[in-house]
Amino acid sequence: MLLPRTRLLAWALLSVAAVRAEETVPYLDRSLASEVRIKDLLSRLTLEEKIGLIHANSKFAAGGVARLGIPLTWTDDGPDGVREEVGQDSWVPAGRTDDFATAMPVGIAMAATWNPAMTEAEGRVIGEEARARNKDVMLGPGLNIMRTPLNGRNYDYFGEDPWLTSRMTVAYVKGMQSEQVVACIKHFAANNQETERNAVDVEMSERTLREIYLPAFEAGVREGGAMAVMGAYNRFRGDFCCENDYLLNTILKKEWKFPGAVISDWNATHTTRGAVLHGLDLEMGTRGPYADYYLAKAYEEGIKNGTYSMASLDDKVRRNLRMLFAAAAIDGRGPGSINTPAHRAAALRANEEGIVLLKNEGRLLPLDPNQVHSVAVIGDNAVRTFAAGVNSAGVKTFHETTVLEGITARLHGQADITFSQGYRGPEQKKGKRDATGVQSAEVLAASALEQQNLADRAVKAAGAAEVVLFIGGLGHGAYGDDEGTDRKDLSLPGHQAELISRLVAANRRTVVVLVSGSPVEMDGWLEQVPAVVEAWYGGSTAGEGVAAVIFGDVNPSGKLPCTFPRRLKDSPAHASGLARQFPGENGVVHYDEGLLVGYRWFDTKKIQPLFPFGFGLSYTNFAYSHLAVTMGNNGVGSAVAKFDLTNTGSRAGAEVVQLYVREPQAPVDRPEKELKAFAKVFLKPGETQRVELQLGQRAFAYYSPALKAWVADARTYDVLIGSSSRDIRLQGKATFAQPSVSR
């Protein structure tokens, strides 16, 4: 039986007091360096106790040595807030009343803020709540790159760009770990689709790995100091990621000097030998009995019969103990707090900052709440909640405001509001959970007659109102924005496209608000609709955020962290139409597009996207001027770009300024341009600020597999400053007289 932490600690303190009476106990001495304490603790552990520390003993816990006061290591999902408690040995919700938590906006919404301070605050909020819920290691953030707009988990990640994803990761990890809760960055590596996620083998070039798929992990470890990394389900170049010598030992542990623990994704371990020798430190899973885990009895026996060395085990234990010390699990830490007004405020602020205004013809938005007398709110997503019910990223909130609630509250009863469902989104009949904990679901579509009736009623309501707010988009569940499956196409489910066209024909003043976590097609209706907003999944305060943007309490400042393609075939993983590129053929997926992921593809191939990476409108305008690029370091390896940014409109607002670097006539293939710096700048009407963006050697460099290093050529680079990847406002040059190399 597992002991609750309080009982375990009480017992441990008694045993520890007994130990203390007889001898000095360095591992309990807080004045000593943690490495000294860990060394001492390690020397006191028996083989069985060591083995117990490196594999699960319930769905989310491992370890615990009561005799020495080492509590269980409690992990938990997930990236947007602390998940509801499940059974010790089952995925069934435990039905507790103390496991509510604040749901922060999902990963892609956080990335859309382009404001690392928001993400740092998110890390702190989740960290404080994790402490209140007794968790040591939070399984997040998720940082896999959006390779295809169809990936079911895109909503859970930070978009398509390595630099933006890196900045978000570092901020999140620092925020969370400052609360004495370990951040487990996931899923390492190349876990970019859900189709066949447990087995698919990913093949890509070394440059693609280094330049696109690894930078956020590297930054999370080297800059953020993440103390845990989760190995992914998939294979990489033939070997499972949790048993991948190259990824785990060579890159993560040797090159990046990662001191923490590699935790397996749940049931992602396949052999004892691979796990022991190729870098896994903690095996977690969904299957029982726990003694049969690859890093349990079989490893213990292997040590006893000399197949494996004690040094290999000690290294794993040491890494697990480092996590525990980082979480102050042995020393004890503050109680944390949960669902506080401050946490809700942080969620709302991030939610508001991540909402992206995609279109605003004739300045239809913001609506003046005092001038609106009747509103038709139409669409299934207006009355849905999204934070709970997603697999590992679900959060049980006390309350999540729906968009309809947000709008109703904002209008304070001053306008007539009619709600009409308009369409029925896909319902899910939930089935069994698979080996990885993902619940199967049968998608139940509404009948054609029902959809027709719903649409007819909505069109009538639209015609009778002054303004129409259509709230549609996607949702969680199988073949939507969720774990375990990918989307089948880019369309809006439930015949939303037809409905939108009919609504706008009935009422020209129609605003489309998309609640979704990945790009969708807008064929047939985008031209007709004057205003479009991408609201993502906003967490606990979702409805308030949308209302604040629509009624102008907040000036939108979110920008797309991913390209919205016009059609699927325009995007890099789908252009060839070959299964080898997506979703894989004979178990192998080839990243043939190489470096050309997201806007790198659209720009290099000169394909017009529907909405480009980095795009987002504001209720004010910004002017860029007076760019000066100066070289640092005697012209080798660094530069600073300075320019003036002015708010030329009549509202306060924030602009995300973006710096892209281009290397003309590069000796190797390089994308047309790449994001290398950005800043979110808040300006009052008429205000000007001199913005400064720093560029290090890596901003100019490409990875050389031959040198195993980052090379910046001696050359004149273009420095492009823009409001989006397709709206470059200023151009400068950075010249390096000599090449430089970094590792």
* Amino acid letter, 539: G
Run of H or E including 455: helix 448-464
Contact between 479 and 487 under an 8 Å Cβ cutoff? The reply is yes
Structure tokens at 42: 């390690």
Q: Which of 265, 380, 592, 603 is catalytic?
A: 265
- Interacting residues toward ligand BGC by CB under 6 A: 77-78, 139, 186, 265-266, 392, 436-438
CB closer to ligand BGC out of 476 and 600: 476
Min CB(135)–ligand BGC separation in Å: 12
In whole angstroms, give the CA distance from residue 130 to residue 138: 7
Min CB(93)–ligand BGC separation in Å: 13
CB closer to ligand BGC out of 388 and 445: 388
Alpha helices in 45-183 (DSSP H): 47-52, 107-113, 116-132, 162-177
CB closer to ligand BGC out of 241 and 550: 241
* Amino acid letter, 370: N
CB closer to ligand BGC out of 156 and 592: 156
Min CB(153)–ligand BGC separation in Å: 8
CB closer to ligand BGC out of 186 and 210: 186
Look at the alpha carbons of 371, 376, 379, 381 in this order and tell me if their dihedral is positive or negative: positive
Min CB(538)–ligand BGC separation in Å: 21
Following CA atoms 446, 452, 455, 460 in sequence, which dihedral angle do they give, to the nearest 10 degrees? -150
Contact between 374 and 634 under an 8 Å Cβ cutoff? The reply is no
Contact between 589 and 582 under an 8 Å Cβ cutoff? The reply is yes
CB closer to ligand BGC out of 65 and 139: 139
Q: Which long-range contacts (CB under 8 A, 24 or more apart) does 39-47 make?
A: 41/68, 41/70, 41/321, 42/314, 42/317, 42/318, 42/321, 44/68, 45/317, 47/300, 47/303, 47/304, 47/310, 47/313
In whole angstroms, give the CA distance from residue 609 to residue 532: 16
CB closer to ligand BGC out of 188 and 660: 188
Contact between 322 and 34 under an 8 Å Cβ cutoff? The reply is yes
* Pairing of β 588-590 and β 201-203: parallel
In whole angstroms, give the CA distance from residue 138 to residue 129: 10
CB closer to ligand BGC out of 281 and 663: 281
* Amino acid letter, 69: G
Min CB(230)–ligand BGC separation in Å: 7
Cis amide bond preceding 189, omega within 30: yes
Structure tokens at 646: 């002015």
Min CB(254)–ligand BGC separation in Å: 26
416 is catalytic: no
Min CB(319)–ligand BGC separation in Å: 19
Contact between 191 and 241 under an 8 Å Cβ cutoff? The reply is yes
Min CB(395)–ligand BGC separation in Å: 13
Return the SS3 of 552. coil
Q: Active-site residue numbers?
A: 265
